[in-house]
């Protein structure tokens, strides 16, 4: 298991993400690429991805229902899937044509190599049990990612030793949150997607809420702008329509 920490993390860059996924693709663990991709594209914690079952994935409606999470607001939440998450899950479903709703998306299995040319093979796959630790594969992937980034750097003459990519698994969650907020997604929506409690949302608003004076000025101007344009000040907020995840 990878420990979940709630202290301040870091968002990885697109270049680091590309190197990380390339490195994951070279792992013996065939589940590493879809596992890491789902973490980046949903901001979900390691534990809820690890215990995800096929019955909670609704391919038709492009959404899924997470299982037990750290908070009551996070447990059982339904989230839509973007194109990259759908593609990763769709590709990953291919090796499991006889999957059942109660089977785990990422089952426990063992890995080895076969042939004169290195070719990783999976065996002893048990879909009734979730994957255990990915720490060994994760740490190896970060080292390969560091090597990829060094090879891609402009400083080709550097004699500095290769360093692993500085990224905890929880930083993938931080990356997803940062990217949504940078894209202008309201923090209330982000909280709904990643399963923050009300108290956590307040803390995270303070942590991620770095605004320039001009941005704050624009927010203040919107107060009187509503009166000038005749927009209703006390507009009722409609409740979002719920979506039920269906077994595929």
Task: Flag whether pLDDT at 200 surpasses 50.
Answer: yes
Question: What is the dihedral sign for C-alpha 153, 157, 160, 161?
Answer: positive
Query: What pTM was estimated for this model as a whole?
Result: 0.80
Confidence band for 225, pLDDT divided at 50, 70 and 90: confident
Q: Give bridge partners of residue 123 from the DSSP assignment.
A: 110
The domain ranges of the chain are: 14-204
Question: What is the dihedral sign for C-alpha 110, 44, 39, 89?
Answer: positive
Instruction: Check residues 37 and 120 and name the one with the higher pLDDT.
Output: 37
> Which of these CATH numbers, 1.10.443.10, 1.50.10.150, 1.10.3720.10, 2.60.40.640, describes 14-204?
1.10.443.10
Task: Flag whether pLDDT at 239 surpasses 50.
Answer: no
- Are 105 and 81 a contacting pair, CB within 8 Å? no
Helix axes of 170-182 and 198-208: crossing angle, nearest 10 degrees: 70
Task: Flag whether pLDDT at 241 surpasses 60.
Answer: no
Task: Flag whether pLDDT at 208 surpasses 90.
Answer: no
| Rounded mean pLDDT, 25-53 | 96
Task: Flag whether pLDDT at 233 surpasses 50.
Answer: no
Confidence band for 160, pLDDT divided at 50, 70 and 90: confident
Confidence band for 223, pLDDT divided at 50, 70 and 90: confident
Supply the DSSP symbol for 116: S
CA distance 226 to 224: 5
């Amino acid at each position: 298991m990878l420990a979940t920490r709630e202290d301040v993390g870091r968002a990885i860059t697109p270049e680091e993400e590309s190197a990380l996924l390339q490195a994951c693709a070279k792992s013996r663990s065939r589940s590493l690429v879809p596992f890491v991709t789902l973490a980046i594209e949903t901001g979900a914690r390691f534990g809820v991805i690890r215990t995800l079952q096929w019955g909670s994935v609704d391919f038709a409606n492009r959404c899924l229902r997470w299982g037990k999470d750290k908070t009551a607001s996070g447990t059982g939440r339904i989230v839509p899937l973007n194109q990259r998450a759908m593609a990763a899950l769709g590709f990953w479903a291919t090796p499991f044509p006889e999957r059942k709703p109660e089977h785990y998306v990422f089952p426990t299995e063992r890995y080895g190599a076969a042939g004169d040319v290195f070719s990783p093979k999976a065996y002893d796959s048990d879909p009734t049990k979730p994957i255990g630790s990915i720490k060994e594969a994760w740490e190896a992937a970060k080292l390969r990612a560091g090597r990829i980034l060094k090879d891609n750097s402009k400083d080709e003459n550097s004699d500095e030793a290769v360093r692993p990519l500085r990224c905890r698994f929880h930083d993938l969650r931080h990356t997803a949150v940062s990217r949504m907020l940078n894209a202008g997604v309201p923090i209330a929506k982000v909280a709904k997607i990643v399963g923050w409690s009300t108290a956590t949302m307040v803390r995270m608003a303070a942590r991620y809420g770095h605004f320039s004076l001009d941005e704050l000025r624009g927010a203040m101007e919107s107060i009187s702008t509503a009166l000038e344009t005749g927009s209703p000040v006390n507009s009722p907020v409609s409740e979002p329509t719920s979506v039920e995840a269906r077994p595929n």
